[in-house]
């Protein structure tokens, strides 16, 4: 028996080797340069697709408005995320304990997550008024609630029967089984849900603003600038919205790696 | 870990029954869909015995083990462990169990997997560390304490599972086809290792297996079971001298006992009950199973 | 030699209760929750809604009942939360003076949206599967493009919908683009896993036949990816409906549920129940589309093994 399976490179050395980030990084730079240069050389009017530098300069010019917008939209996205994830997790923990509750709740939640919840945006604006962050927080919370609920329940209950037998053979209490087995088992599921939820949250916030919001909010801003054919500024706002999505997503990934180092290591081992 | 390695070479059993099943039957389901997994089981395992349960698939040997472990309850009859009900014995943590799969927690290291039962049973941290270090030495995995289960081979994982099962010094070790998923070479090595651990720790072992050579090599007694419905068809005493070594496997007495167990298994096969059993080469089938 | 991987244990040690709930139980659960929502809805109105009064003669018995809720919640008044029966009645009442009932009008819009969603869905699914096939065959393509596929989902495409609409001129095309964009991602990720899901020994078997890449794709990779693909297609179907609705609004398409939302949102002050009816219709379209995919899945999966990890 050799320890060959244990022969793995650490995440740090992989990072140094550039295996993960180099190809996409190269592609990013190439695409950006190609975009800039080809528009410059061909002399194409930077109408719909302005040059990256043009977008960057309008980002700087319009920064005061855009900064207000990104703060507003981020508040909505993060606020809704926190509410939805918290309620989803707590409901999931509660439902997982009762077989009847989870067996009827999971299919309902799965069905509910296919509902176009964004269609409720105009209603929430009628409830709370367009200037408030509450309409979007409500929408984002409902959108993120369902995937978190489903994954929490699955993670807590889809435990291998043998592991449960093992815990039973130790005469462990329910609380001990929850802590030693169910929660560690559920964490990967939960983080998966969190990743889904972050992307949903930005979509929910920006699209929720389409139906009404303060003029500087990213959703309204993008619509207005597009309507007035001011594409560089519209693009600047879009870039900001994308960055918000990417930053939130990466944040989840980083926290996940820190919280579940064993999972990352196992995935890397499996990749070989 | 108790360090009573000075175990006598002869069969060191006492008369006190550690595991006792009387008139036990187990039926799964109810009505026309029910299946009788076990019927009319009477069995007594004495202290420090090594008893193997062997039989074809569906003879209920794993069910029997789970009854002793109080993972399931018998339909009729009584299961007593250490003179208590099986339930009380489980609550008193009288036994350690090893499953066919290692059932290790991916998020724990090898050392903390071994410490899992100790955590649940409230041992303090220093004691846990001391025991897991001892056990890692016992199963010869000293350098692997900080590894994670998926970084180990199947045989190493199963050794971790064995270390975990004996971490809290249970008086009884229940093993459910622990080496069923291992290759023959690894399996033979694990057999020697299990025997060494059994002798060093002085536990009583109830061992479920598919393999005739394994059963004969390890056991003081082999309980042969037959299927549909599951019952005990013969109990064969294995009086091979201890300590048993590689040479034991080549001795005449060993071959004789292997044949005896095989014959006992085949006798029950003689009655055609299922399509499998009508196979004229059923001896080969059993042999193949034995070496699975 | 097959090394027992702990995660593989999960599949082999099944048999304990805790499997999928029966269909009847699931239907019952959905019914109960739906009923619960309606009851909670009306309870909120009963406690904190607007006062109402019944003054009629039913079966010769004159009834005069007035209900004044003890509390007053802004969120439960008739403008914010119309009565359930008002929403139901909105479906039957004519959409315009002497016109067809709103339900019929909305059904027409729903069909329009569903058609848009379907075209985008098919396009996106094909693109997604195509990318998946490319990635399992080219390590370089996978390494350099997969991060972008993942990043593409952090781009709130629906937020760009207005710009897309301007970019591609034809409004139907922009709706299709947005829908396809939302669809391809889950399919790519699932096919990446599904096309590799077959047992390593099966791949060795194909290698021993000296099978071409194409044969391996058709006879091994694609068949074993079916369960993964369907679970992604369901997610994609739901996303495509949302894409169609939002895409319509952004592109200013004159028909479909997206435009219906805009229209009835403008009349919200006078007839809130119509917007609610439209949203109910959106929900029905979303569920119907996913239901359709589930049906097709059942046909495909009849008698097939479903890997336990697919559900994730």
Looking at residue C8, its pLDDT comes to 30
What's the rounded mean pLDDT across residues A191-220? 88
Q: Are A51 and A36 in contact (CB under 8 A)?
A: yes
Residue by residue, pLDDT tens for chain C (312 residues) are: 333 333 333 332 233 334 455 677 777 777 888 888 899 988 988 888 888 777 778 778 888 888 888 888 877 788 888 888 888 888 888 877 777 888 888 999 999 999 999 999 999 999 999 999 999 898 888 887 887 787 777 666 776 777 777 777 777 788 888 899 888 988 998 898 889 888 777 888 888 888 888 888 988 898 888 888 988 898 899 889 988 988 888 777 778 888 888 888 888 888 888 889 998 999 899 889 988 998 998 888 776 666 655 544
Looking at residue C308, its pLDDT comes to 58
Q: Are A51 and C168 in contact (CB under 8 A)?
A: no
Assigned domain for B112 exists: no
Size of interface A-C (CB pairs under 8 A): 168
Give the 3-state secondary structure of residue C155: coil
Q: Are A236 and A225 in contact (CB under 8 A)?
A: no
Nearest to A245 by CA among C155, C178, C162: C155
Closest residue in A to C236 (Cα–Cα): A114
Closest residue in A to B116 (Cα–Cα): A180
Nearest to B214 by CA among B178, B242, B160: B178
The CA distance from A159 to the nearest CA of chain C, in Å, is 8
Looking at residue C10, its pLDDT comes to 31
Burial bucket for residue A52 (CB in 10 Å: 0-12, 13-18, 19+): middle
Kindly indicate whether the ipTM for this predicted assembly is greater than 0.90, answering yes or no.
no
Confirm or reject contact between C1 and chain B (CB < 8 A).
Answer: yes
The CA distance from A3 to the nearest CA of chain B, in Å, is 7
Higher per-residue pLDDT: A18 or C24? C24
The confidence band for A3, taking pLDDT boundaries of 50, 70 and 90, is: very low
Chain B residues 90-129 with a CB less than 8 Å from chain C: 101-104, 106
Chain A neighbors of B69, CB-CB under 8 A: 165, 169
Closest residue in C to B149 (Cα–Cα): C6
Confirm or reject contact between A179 and chain B (CB < 8 A).
Answer: no
In chain A, the N- to C-terminal Cα span, in Å, equals 19
Domain C82-311 fold is MetI-like fold (1.10.3720)
A51-271 maps to CATH 3.90.1150.10: no
Looking at residue A17, its pLDDT comes to 55
Beta strands in chain A, from DSSP E residues, in sequence order: none
Lowest model confidence (mean pLDDT) among A112-121, A174-183, B277-286, C209-218: B277-286
Please give, one letter per residue, the 3-state secondary structure of A193-257: HHHHHHHHHHHHHHHHHHCCCCCCCHHHHHHHHHHCCCHHHHHHHHHHHHHHHHHHHHHHHHHHH
Assigned domain for B269 exists: yes
Count of CA atoms in the C-beta half-sphere (13 A) of C72: 4
DSSP lists the bridge partners of residue C66 as C53
Q: Is the predicted pLDDT of residue A66 greater than 90, yes or no?
A: yes
Give the 3-state secondary structure of residue B210: coil
Q: How far apart are CA C81 and CA C92, in angstroms?
A: 19
Confirm or reject contact between B105 and chain A (CB < 8 A).
Answer: yes
Chain A neighbors of C277, CB-CB under 8 A: none
Q: Is the predicted pLDDT of residue A223 greater than 70, yes or no?
A: yes
Confirm or reject contact between C17 and chain B (CB < 8 A).
Answer: no
Looking at residue C5, its pLDDT comes to 33
Contact C283 A115 (CB under 8 A): yes
Dihedral sign, Cα of residue C67, residue C71, residue C72, residue C77: negative
Looking at residue C228, its pLDDT comes to 87
Q: Which residues neighbour B25 within 8 Å (Cβ) at sequence distance 6 or greater?
A: B36, B38, B39, B40, B41, B74, B75, B76, B77
Q: Are C78 and C47 in contact (CB under 8 A)?
A: no
Closest residue in B to C8 (Cα–Cα): B101
Give the 3-state secondary structure of residue C113: helix
DSSP class of residue C70 equals S
Q: Which residues neighbour C34 within 8 Å (Cβ) at sequence distance 6 or greater?
A: none
The length of chain C, given as a count of residues: 312
Q: How far apart are CA B172 and CA B198, in angstroms?
A: 10
pLDDT cut 70: percent of chain A above it: 88
* B163-178: burial string, b at 16+ Cβ within 10 Å, e else: bbbbbbebbbbbbbbb
Nearest 10 degrees: Cα torsion B266, B269, B271, B273:
180
Cis peptide before A197 (omega within 30 of 0): no
Assigned domain for B117 exists: no
Higher per-residue pLDDT: A46 or B288? A46
Of C74, C147, C245, the CB nearest to A24: C147
Sheet holding B231-237, edge to edge: B95-98, B172-176, B204-209, B50-54, B221-226, B231-237
Contact A167 B120 (CB under 8 A): yes
Q: How far is CA C91 from the centre of its chain?
A: 22
Average pLDDT, chain A: 83
pLDDT tens per residue across span C153-185? 766 677 677 777 777 777 778 888 889 988 898
Looking at residue A122, its pLDDT comes to 87
Contact B102 C5 (CB under 8 A): no
Q: How far apart are CA C153 and CA C236, in angstroms?
A: 13
Give the 3-state secondary structure of residue B53: strand
CA distance readout (Å), C251 to A6, B264, C169: 55, 80, 9
Looking at residue B112, its pLDDT comes to 92
The confidence band for B202, taking pLDDT boundaries of 50, 70 and 90, is: confident
Contact C4 B150 (CB under 8 A): no
Q: Are A124 and A208 in contact (CB under 8 A)?
A: yes
pTM above the 0.80 mark? no
Tokens of C311: 């559900």
Assigned domain for B261 exists: yes
Contact C6 B157 (CB under 8 A): yes
Q: Is the predicted pLDDT of residue B275 greater than 50, yes or no?
A: no
What's the rounded mean pLDDT across residues A165-172? 91
Q: How far apart are CA C184 and CA C190, in angstroms?
A: 10
Q: Are B81 and B19 in contact (CB under 8 A)?
A: yes
Tokens of C44: 């909120």
Looking at residue A249, its pLDDT comes to 86
Which residue ranges make up each domain of chain C?
A: 30-81, 82-311
Looking at the structure of chain B, the number of domains it has is 1
Of B103, B106, B154, the CB nearest to C3: B154
Burial bucket for residue B189 (CB in 10 Å: 0-12, 13-18, 19+): middle
Tokens of B200: 């060093």
User: How many separate helices (H) and strands (E) can be counted in chain A?
Assistant: 13, 0
Give the 3-state secondary structure of residue B81: strand
In chain B, the N- to C-terminal Cα span, in Å, equals 33
Q: Are B178 and B98 in contact (CB under 8 A)?
A: yes
Q: How far apart are CA A270 and CA C186, in angstroms?
A: 22
Nearest to B112 by CA among B157, B151, B146, B162: B146
**CATH number, domain with residue B35:** 3.40.50.300
Q: Are B290 and B213 in contact (CB under 8 A)?
A: yes
Please give, one letter per residue, the 3-state secondary structure of A45-94: CCCCCCCHHHHHHHHHHCHHHHHHHHHHHHHHHHHHHHHHHHHHHHHHHH
Choose the mutation target among B63, B88, B105 for the interface with A, i.e. most A CBs under 10 Å: B105
Of A162, A265, A266, the CB nearest to B101: A162
Contact A104 C33 (CB under 8 A): yes
Assigned domain for B208 exists: yes
Q: Are B107 and A188 in contact (CB under 8 A)?
A: no
Nearest to C161 by CA among A222, A52, A117, A249: A222
Chain B neighbors of A170, CB-CB under 8 A: 93, 116-117, 120-121
Looking at residue B269, its pLDDT comes to 53
Of A104, A157, A241, the CB nearest to C18: A157
Give the 3-state secondary structure of residue C101: strand
CA A151-A152-A154 angle, to 5 degrees, is 60
Q: Is the predicted pLDDT of residue B265 greater than 50, yes or no?
A: yes
Confirm or reject contact between B288 and chain A (CB < 8 A).
Answer: no
pLDDT tens per residue across span A121-168? 888 888 888 889 999 999 999 999 988 998 898 889 888 888 999 999
Looking at residue B131, its pLDDT comes to 93
What's the rounded mean pLDDT across residues B139-165? 89
Give the 3-state secondary structure of residue B78: strand
Q: Tell me the backbone φ, ψ of residue C53, rounded to 5 degrees.
A: -150, 135
Tokens of A3: 């320890």
DSSP lists the bridge partners of residue B89 as none
Tokens of B207: 């061992």
Assigned domain for B73 exists: yes
Q: How far is CA B97 from the centre of its chain?
A: 8
pLDDT tens per residue across span A237-267? 988 988 898 889 889 988 988 888 887 777 6
Chain A residues 7-46 with a CB less than 8 Å from chain B: 8
Q: How far apart are CA B291 and CA B89, in angstroms?
A: 34
Boundaries of domain holding B41 = 17-94+170-290
The length of chain B, given as a count of residues: 292
Q: Is the predicted pLDDT of residue A22 greater than 90, yes or no?
A: no
Looking at residue A1, its pLDDT comes to 36
Assigned domain for B158 exists: no
Q: Are B36 and B229 in contact (CB under 8 A)?
A: yes
The CA distance from B91 to the nearest CA of chain A, in Å, is 5
Q: How far apart are CA C11 and CA A121, in angstroms?
A: 42
């Amino acid at each position: 028996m050799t320890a060959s399976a244990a022969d793995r490179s650490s995440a740090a050395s992989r990072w140094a080797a550039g295996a993960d980030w180099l190809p996409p990084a190269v592609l990013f730079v190439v695409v950006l340069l190609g975009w800039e240069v080809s528009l410059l050389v061909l002399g194409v009017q930077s109408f719909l697709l302005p040059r990256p530098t043009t977008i960057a300069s309008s980002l700087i010019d319009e920064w005061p408005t855009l900064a207000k917008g990104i703060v507003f939209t981020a508040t909505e996205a993060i606020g809704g995320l926190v509410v939805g994830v918290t309620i989803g997790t707590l409901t999931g923990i509660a439902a997982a304990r009762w077989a009847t509750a989870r067996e009827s709740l999971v299919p309902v939640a799965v069905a509910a997550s296919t509902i176009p919840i964004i269609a409720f945006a105009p209603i929430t604006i009628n409830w709370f008024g367009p200037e408030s962050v509450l309409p979007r927080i409500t929408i984002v919370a409902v959108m993120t609630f369902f995937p978190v609920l489903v994954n929490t329940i699955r993670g807590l209950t889809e435990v291998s029967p043998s592991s449960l037998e093992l815990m039973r053979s130790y005469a462990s209490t329910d609380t001990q089984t929850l802590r030693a087995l169910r929660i560690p088992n559920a964490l990967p599921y939960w983080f998966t849900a969190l990743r889904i939820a972050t992307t949903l949250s930005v979509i929910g916030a920006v699209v929720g603003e389409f139906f009404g919001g303060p003029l500087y909010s990213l959703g309204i801003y993008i619509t207005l600038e597009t309507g007035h054919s001011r594409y560089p500024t519209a693009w600047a706002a879009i870039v900001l919205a994308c960055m918000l999505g990417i930053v939130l997503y990466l944040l989840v990934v980083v926290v996940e790696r820190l919280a579940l180092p064993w999972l990352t290591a196992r995935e890397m081992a499996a990749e070989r | 870990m108790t360090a009573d390695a000075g175990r006598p070479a002869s069969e060191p059993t006492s008369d006190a029954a550690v595991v006792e099943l009387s008139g036990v039957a187990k039926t799964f389901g109810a009505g026309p869909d029910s299946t009788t997994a076990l019927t009319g089981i009477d069995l007594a395992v004495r202290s420090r015995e090594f008893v193997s349960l062997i039989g074809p698939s569906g003879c209920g040997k794993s069910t029997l083990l789970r009854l002793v472990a109080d993972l399931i309850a018998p339909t009729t009859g009584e299961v007593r462990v250490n003179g208590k009900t099986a339930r009380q014995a489980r609550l008193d943590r009288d036994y350690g169990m090893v499953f066919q799969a290692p059932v290790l927690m991916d998020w724990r290291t090898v050392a903390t997997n071994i410490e899992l039962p100790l955590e649940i049973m409230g041992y303090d941290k220093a004691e846990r560390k001391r025991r897991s270090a001892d056990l890692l030495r016992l199963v010869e995995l000293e350098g692997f304490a900080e590894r994670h289960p998926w970084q180990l081979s199947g045989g190493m994982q199963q050794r971790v599972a064995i270390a975990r099962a004996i971490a809290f010094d249970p008086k009884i070790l229940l093993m459910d086809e622990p080496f069923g998923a291992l290759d023959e070479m690894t399996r033979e090595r694990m057999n020697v290792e299990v025997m060494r651990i059994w002798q060093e720790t002085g536990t009583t072992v109830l061992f479920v297996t598919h393999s005739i050579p394994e059963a004969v090599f390890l056991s003081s007694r082999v309980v042969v079971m037959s299927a549909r419905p599951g019952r005990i068809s013969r109990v064969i005493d294995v009086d091979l001298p201890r300590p048993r070594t590689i040479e034991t496997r080549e001795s005449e007495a060993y071959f004789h006992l292997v044949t005896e167990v095989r014959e006992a298994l085949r006798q029950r096969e003689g009655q055609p009950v299922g399509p499998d059993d009508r196979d004229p080469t059923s001896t080969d089938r059993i042999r193949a199973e034995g070496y699975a | 030699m097959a090394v027992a991987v702990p995660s593989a244990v999960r599949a082999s040690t099944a048999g304990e209760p805790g499997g999928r709930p029966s269909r009847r139980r699931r239907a019952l659960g959905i019914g109960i929750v739906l009923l619960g929502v309606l009851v909670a809805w009306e309870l909120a109105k009963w406690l904190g809604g607007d006062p109402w009064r019944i003054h009629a003669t039913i079966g010769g018995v004159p009834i005069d009942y007035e209900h004044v809720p003890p509390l007053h919640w802004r969120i439960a008044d008739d403008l914010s939360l119309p009565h359930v029966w008002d929403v139901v009645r909105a479906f039957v009442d004519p959409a315009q003076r002497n016109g067809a009932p709103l339900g019929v009008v909305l059904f027409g819009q729903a069909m329009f949206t569903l058609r848009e969603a379907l075209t985008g869905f098919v396009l996106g699914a094909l693109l997604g599967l195509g990318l998946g096939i490319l990635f399992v065959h080219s390590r370089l393509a996978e390494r350099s493009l997969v991060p972008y596929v993942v990043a593409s989902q952090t781009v709130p495409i629906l937020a760009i919908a207005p710009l897309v609409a301007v970019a591609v001129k034809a409004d139907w095309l922009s709706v299709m683009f947005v829908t396809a964009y939302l669809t391809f991602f889950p399919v790519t990720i699932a096919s990446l896993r599904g096309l590799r899901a077959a047992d390593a020994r099966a791949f060795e078997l194909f290698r021993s036949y000296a099978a071409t890449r194409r044969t391996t794709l058709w006879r091994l990779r694609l068949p074993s990816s079916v369960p993964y693909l369907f679970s992604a297609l369901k997610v994609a179907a739901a996303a495509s409906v949302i894409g169609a609705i939002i895409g319509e609004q952004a592109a200013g398409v004159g028909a479909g549920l997206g435009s219906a939302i805009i229209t009835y949102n403008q009349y919200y002050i006078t007839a809130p129940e119509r917007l609610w009816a439209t949203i109910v219709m959106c929900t029905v379209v979303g569920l119907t589309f996913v239901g359709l995919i589930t049906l097709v899945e059942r046909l495909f999966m009849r008698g097939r093994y479903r890997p336990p990890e697919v559900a994730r």
